[in-house]
Amino acid sequence: MRLQRIVGEDRAIRTNIYLRNALLGTAWSSRLEFPPGFQFGAATSSYQIEGGWDADGKGPSIWDRLFHSAANSGYFNQTGDVAADSYHQWRQDVKAAADMGLDFYRFSISWPRILPTGRTNVVSPAGVRYYSQLIDVLLAAGIKPVVTLYHFELPVTIQDLGGWTNPLIVDLFGEYARLVYSLYADRVDTWITINEGIVICDLTYNFGQFAPQIKEPTFAPFLCNKHVMLAHAKAYRIYDEEFRAKCGGKVSIANNLLWVEPVTPDDLELAELGRQHSIGRFSHPIFSKEGGWPPTTEKLMRAVSRREGYSQSRLPAFTDEEKKFVQGTADFFSLNHYTTSMIRPARAGEAPGTWFINGSAELNAVLEHPPGSTYGALDIMPIYPPGFRRLLNWVRQQYGDVEVFVSENGLATSGTNLEDHIRVDYLTRYMEQVLLAMEDGVRVTGYTVWSLIDNFEWFDGYNTKFGLYEVDFEDPARSRRPRLSAHHYACVIKHRRLKYPESCVQERRNGRR
């Protein structure tokens, strides 16, 4: 039954080579090798590692305000005030990246650290210097900086104007992007404008937990969605028109792609609608030939809005000019992926929940975990590697032979444990799926582990660990130590193979690289 369900899942994907290899993803790639030029890296985000929340004149972000307020519902009221103290200990991060032999390090810039007021009227020399030093030392170590302009860290001054639900943010983000390009584009050639619009919009406003803790699931997620697309396009156009000729870099947007499969063969159409409703809303306007929202999503939202008594769709339309402005504004497809869900219609009397974690109110659907899944520390992220391959093939089927860059993939653990065999297994199995997808014809050029070091994991605080390197949060110096997964990843990078000499990890433990 399981085989029949997957075979029938998508006719375009069904014909791919992986159905002749191993549907369940248990067989190794025939080569086990990554091709020449394939890039390996790791990632972090500013609020989660930097600390120095008010150092050297930094302005407050929406997360600073939330975790300093009475509404702080985080893990034992922990905050990111110090985090891994990368504002002061950033050289330790560079050393960790260099010791593993990373090709690149993806990090984000804190908007209020560069612009304390959120606007370009005040530029922080200390903030500018911090990122400039980090970039220079990375380059000196032979590590390419991959820079994210926005990773959830909005200045409170802009949030107080409505944040991502105010169309003004399109121009404000453009001003910020132009300034950052002018400071660093001579040394940075790969840019991510915005990280995970589905988190910024859907997760934030549907649940009301993430900063700025506003719950308004009717209009806010879709206003935010449109403004994220326009703000990204604004930043892309600025780079394209003012910096590309001189700097020759690439720009994209990183979307979180939850792979969705049908619970039964009857749910095939619903599964595809679910993909378009989550992935498509943040990808179709950029990567499709026609631009704008996915047609099935537009149709769905018109029907839902009409039933609810609204004269217009809750999904705000793009004008023809806006469609053209957004269309084509990415030089590669940047995706974050962690997990897979199964989708089915909500039953009579069953609440569908909201999209991203529980299901979708608009789709009247419920998400379930794949049968037989295993888990790390987060039960919202079942481990299901085959979904990654199917997702990568779906991206190619939807958007053509686009360059794909995996900008995040990783597993959460908890507690103090340097022997993280479960993370080694996760990374190996998910990288295997990348190789298999590449054999299918998907043009994947890079892979990024989330995360380089342990960080402040939002409302899980310091309890949840994603790091290849453990951070001692009791040590004032926030010392870093490599986990087994760091040694494993370093050996994969060194040999460019998933299977490498058994002596490699032991040599690294003994201090030999």
Any idea which architecture 2-340+374-508 has in CATH?
Alpha-Beta Barrel (3.20)
Residues above pLDDT 70, as percent of the chain: 93
Could you tell me which residues come within 8 angstroms of residue 96 by beta carbon, excluding any fewer than 6 positions away? Answer: 452, 453, 468, 469, 480, 482, 486
Q: Among residues 153, 261, 272, 408, which one is catalytic?
A: 408
Q: Could you read off the pLDDT of 252-288 as tens digits, one per residue?
A: 999 999 999 999 999 999 999 999 999 999 999 999 9
Q: Is 241 a catalytic residue?
A: no
Q: Could you read off the pLDDT of 479-500 as tens digits, one per residue?
A: 999 999 999 999 999 999 999 9
**Spans of all domains in the chain:** 2-340+374-508
Q: Could you read off the pLDDT of 45-65 as tens digits, one per residue?
A: 999 999 999 999 999 999 999
What average pLDDT does the chain have? 92
The per-residue b/e assignment along 212-249, b for 16 or more CB within 10 angstroms, e otherwise, is bbeeebeebbbbbbbbbbbbbbbbbbbbeeebbeebeb
> Is the confidence at residue 3, as pLDDT, over 50?
no
> Is the confidence at residue 420, as pLDDT, over 60?
yes
Q: What are phi and psi of 512, to 5 degrees?
A: -100, 130
> Is the confidence at residue 19, as pLDDT, over 60?
no
CA–CA gap between residue 65 and residue 9 (Å, rounded) = 45
Kindly state the tokens that stand for 59: 């302005």
Q: Among residues 9, 153, 196, 432, which one is catalytic?
A: 196
Kindly state the tokens that stand for 140: 């000196």
> Residues 288, 293, 297, CA angle at the centre, nearest 5°?
120
Question: Mean pLDDT across the stretch 381-401?
Answer: 97
**C-alpha 271: how far from chain center:** 22
Q: Is 175 a catalytic residue?
A: no
